[in-house]
Amino acid sequence: MTNRLILISAVFFAAAVSGQASNYGPFSCSTCGSGFDASAFNVVTLGTSSTLSTGNFSPSSDIGGGVAVFGNYTGNGYQIGSQMSTVPNPYTDNYTMIVNGSVSTNPFTVGSGSGSQAVWIGGTYGTFNSPQPTISTSPASNDFDFLAARTSLDNLSTNTLPRYTATTGTPVSNGTNYVLTASGTGLLVYNIDASYFTNQNLGFQVSLVNGQSVIINITGASSSFSFSKGTVVVYNGNTVNANTMGGVPVLFNLPEVTTLSTSNGSINGSILAPYASFSSNQTIDGQLFVASVTSLAETHDQYYDGLLPSLGSIATPEPASFLLFGGALIAIGLIGRKGRT
């Protein structure tokens, strides 16, 4: 396993130097085979154990983009990929929906109604609403490496991002939100205390412009954490919402959290919390990379299109860091060997 990850790390570094293909997002690698690109999915659940048995997904409303579920999917007739024709995600994949386990639900729609979509289901399933998706149930033995994805996503969240040299920045209250205004160009990683996200009266706002990618390591968070007033992203002077066109380069990282929720405000921006069981009664304008979802309000496919750390930019480049980072960004793309459509 170690030799395999070292080899993957070297391959990714070569890809980072040469550049990625246009249909790959930041959470993937253009040279790691023809599996699916995690950047193409609105919600990814990865479970919390070596068997991934807890990576279940139970939405409470429509999902704007595609979903990748490494446990079981249970819904009640909701639509998957409801925004695919209005807010398209440029990162492509063979499938709109991937479920490693079984699908247990009332009939629901996959895609935005403009034509058949492809889904991959490892277990049992029932019926779908028209138009019927194209269903694959017999993938090649190495189609998806779920355990590698689980392990590597953990490494990205708990080792790579916290080791990045942080940019100094202090949120300032404007009476409505704590506002963090990005300063500089390129990838900007901030370490922000959890208390800025748990105030009952103030939300958290990130303001940035083209040429800036913001990753926020939320530090000091308890294992059970809630965004009390939600988050706001103001990108190029416009507040991100359900119909925002294009990607949003803001990512919140919560490696310590095992139970994550929202209480009184929508979420703008993407969330990386690989150990967390996520529950929300608020809308989400961004991607979710979590362990499982027990309840999820309407979710809009505002994909993360920012930068991620390069190997040379880690603050303390220990040998283990090179290994962890290479594996992290490769396997979050869920390494596969199936040709793209």
Check residue 75 and give its pLDDT: 83
Check residue 230 and give its pLDDT: 95
Residue 299 CA to residue 81 CA, distance in Å, equals 10
Residue 69 CA to residue 123 CA, distance in Å, equals 12
Check residue 143 and give its pLDDT: 55
Check residue 331 and give its pLDDT: 41
What is the residue extent of each domain of the chain?
A: 2-158+311-331, 161-268
Residue type at position 55: G
Residue 265 CA to residue 69 CA, distance in Å, equals 26
Query: Dihedral, CA atoms, 262, 182, 40, 301, nearest 10 degrees?
Result: 50
Residue 156 CA to residue 275 CA, distance in Å, equals 12
Pairing of strands 231-235, 238-239: antiparallel
Check residue 326 and give its pLDDT: 41
Check residue 139 and give its pLDDT: 59
> Where on the phi/psi map is residue 115: left (φ > 0), alpha (ψ -120 to 50), or beta?
left
- pLDDT in single tens digits along all 341 residues of the chain: 333 333 223 222 223 322 333 457 787 744 333 555 778 889 999 888 655 567 999 998 999 999 989 899 998 888 898 887 777 788 877 788 889 889 988 888 888 755 558 888 888 998 888 888 888 876 554 556 666 667 777 888 999 999 999 999 999 999 999 999 999 999 999 999 999 999 999 999 999 999 999 999 999 999 999 999 999 999 999 999 877 767 899 999 999 999 999 988 999 999 999 999 999 989 999 999 999 999 998 899 889 999 988 533 344 333 333 333 444 443 444 434 333 33
**Cβ(242)–Cβ(271) under 8 Å?**
no
**Cβ(84)–Cβ(62) under 8 Å?**
no
Per DSSP, the residues of 66-97 read EEEESS-EEEESPPBSTTTTTS--SS--S-SE
Check residue 51 and give its pLDDT: 56
Q: Can you say how many angstroms the Cα of residue 234 is from the centroid of all Cα atoms in its chain?
A: 20
Task: Look up residue 337 and give its two tokens.
Answer: 């060997």
Residue type at position 36: F
Whether omega for the bond prior to residue 131 falls within 30 degrees of 0, making it cis, is yes
Check residue 322 and give its pLDDT: 35
Check residue 319 and give its pLDDT: 33
Phi and psi angles of residue 283, each rounded to the nearest 5 degrees, phi first: -70, 150
> Where on the phi/psi map is residue 184: left (φ > 0), alpha (ψ -120 to 50), or beta?
left
Of 316, 318, 313, 328, the closest CA to residue 5 belongs to 328
Of 57, 53, 34, the closest CA to residue 45 belongs to 57
